[in-house]
Amino acid sequence: MRAVVLAACIALAGGVHAETTVAAAHKGDTIDRKTVRRSVSDTVKLLNDVYVYPDTARRVGLEMIDRLEAGAYDRITTRQEFASRIGSELDDLSGDGHLGVLVAEGGEAPTHVMKETTDRFRLNYGFEKLEILPGNIGYLKLNKFFPDDEARNTADHALGFLGGTDALILDLSECKGGSPELVSHMLSYFFAEKTLLWSIVDRNGKSVHDTFSTTGAGPARFQRDYPLIILTGPDTASAAELFAYTLKSFGKARTVGQGTTGIAHIVGALPINEHFVGRFSTYRTINPVTKTDWEGVGIPPDAVADTQKRLDVAVAMARATPAQPQ
C-alpha cells in the first residue's frame, strides 16, 4: 500500500500547460456507438471503485448514466472526442479539476506524469528567477515542483544562495503543482525539528501515509521567526498549494496576491479499458494543524494584491518585519 500511495503522490499536480505521456488519438481514430456506451459505463464503474469521495462518485455516475441513456453521447465518433467530452463532464459534475480521461496508446502503462511543453515550466526544472532585492530580501520564482533529483539539487543551490537574506519572497503565482517529494524537501528548510507536514487519507478516511520534514536541511535562521512571504494567484495549484498551505498553517509564512486554484487531491492514472485511461483523485492530503485541506476553496491571501502590485506589497511587508540576527 505504501508504495502505491507514494507513486500516486507524484501526481499532486494540475494539468495546465502540459501534455500527458499518453498520446492523443490520430485523425480518423474512430469508435462506434457500442464502444462509446461501453466506455461510459466502464468510466462510471472505475469512478465508483476508486474516487476519493464515494458519495460524489455515485452522484456523478448516476448523472452520466442518465445522459448516456438519453443519447447525449451518441454523436461521439472518435476516441479523442470521447476523452475530451467525458473528461470535461467528470470535471464539471464533480467540481474536481484533477479528473480527466486520456486516450490510451501503444500499450504503454498509464501514467499521471506530465510532459512539459512550455519553457517557463520546462527549463531549469521550473526555477525561473533568483535574486537579492534591495534591503537583502531574497526572491525566488518557481513554476513547478519537478519530480527529479536534479530539481532537488537546483532547489538546494537556490535556497543556499538565499541563506543569508533577511527575508524571502517565494513567487508561486504561476506554479501549477508537481512533486510532493520536492515540496517536503523544500519545506524542511523551514522546520528545525522533525515535524508531521501532512497525512494521506484514503476514501474511507483511513490515514495510509504520513510525510515528515527532515532535520538539518537549511540554515538555522530560516527556521526561526524568519520573514517568509509567498506570492499566490489563481494559477497557483496543487503541490504549490500544498507548499503554501503547510507553511501558512504552521504560522511560518504569509501569502500575498489572490486566492489559489483549490486542487488538493492526490491523483492516480488507471486504465478504463483498452481505449482510455482515467485520471482520478484517489487520496486526500490532511494538514495536521487545520485537520482539513484546501480542496475546492483554495488558499485566501493574507494581503490581497493584483498581478502588478503583489511583489511590491510583499517587499513592503518584508521590510516592515524586523530582521533576525544571523
pLDDT of residue 54: 97
Location of C-alpha cell 494539468: 15
Do the strands 196-201 and 266-271 form a parallel or antiparallel pair, or are they unpaired?
unpaired
Helix ranges (H only) for 194-254 are 239-249
Among 119-123, 173-177, 209-213, 229-233, the minimum mean pLDDT is found in 119-123
Q: Which residues pair with 266 in a beta bridge?
A: 283
Location of C-alpha cell 494521506: 200
Phi, psi of 276 (to 5 degrees): -140, 155
Cell digits of residue 111: 501514467
pLDDT of residue 64: 98
Rounded to the nearest angstrom, the gap between the alpha carbon of residue 59 and the centroid of all alpha carbons in its chain is 25
pLDDT of residue 20: 39
pLDDT of residue 115: 52
Do the strands 276-286 and 303-304 form a parallel or antiparallel pair, or are they unpaired?
unpaired
pLDDT of residue 325: 54
Residue 106: pLDDT band (50, 70, 90) is: low
pLDDT of residue 12: 56
Higher pLDDT, 105 or 269: 269
Asked whether the predicted pLDDT for residue 123 surpasses 60, the reply is yes
Residue 148: pLDDT band (50, 70, 90) is: confident
pLDDT of residue 303: 98
Task: With residue 38 as reference, give the H or E element that holds it.
Answer: helix 33-50
Cα distance between residue 230 and residue 217, in whole Å: 20
**Per-residue DSSP letters for 57-99?**
HHHHHHHHHHHHHTTTTTT--BHHHHHHHHHHHHHHHHT-TT-
Q: Please give the domain boundaries of the chain with CATH numbers for all domains.
A: 23-103 (no CATH), 118-263+283-319 (3.90.226.10)
Helix/strand/coil for 303: strand
Cα distance between residue 97 and residue 99, in whole Å: 6
pTM: 0.82
pLDDT tens-place string over residues 160-190: 999 999 999 999 999 988 889 999 999 999 9
Among 6-15, 26-35, 42-51, the minimum mean pLDDT is found in 6-15
Q: What percent of the chain has pLDDT over 70?
A: 85
Question: Is 115 within 8 Å of 20 (Cβ atoms)?
Answer: yes
Cell digits of residue 83: 476523452
Among 100-109, 133-142, 156-165, 224-233, the minimum mean pLDDT is found in 100-109
Asked whether the predicted pLDDT for residue 18 surpasses 90, the reply is no
Q: Which residues pair with 256 in a beta bridge?
A: 231, 303
Residue 24: pLDDT band (50, 70, 90) is: very low
As a whole number, the mean pLDDT across the chain is 88
Asked whether the predicted pLDDT for residue 1 surpasses 60, the reply is no
Rounded to the nearest angstrom, the gap between the alpha carbon of residue 150 and the centroid of all alpha carbons in its chain is 20
Cα distance between residue 137 and residue 262, in whole Å: 29
Asked whether the predicted pLDDT for residue 307 surpasses 90, the reply is yes
Asked whether the predicted pLDDT for residue 108 surpasses 60, the reply is no
Cα distance between residue 85 and residue 143, in whole Å: 29
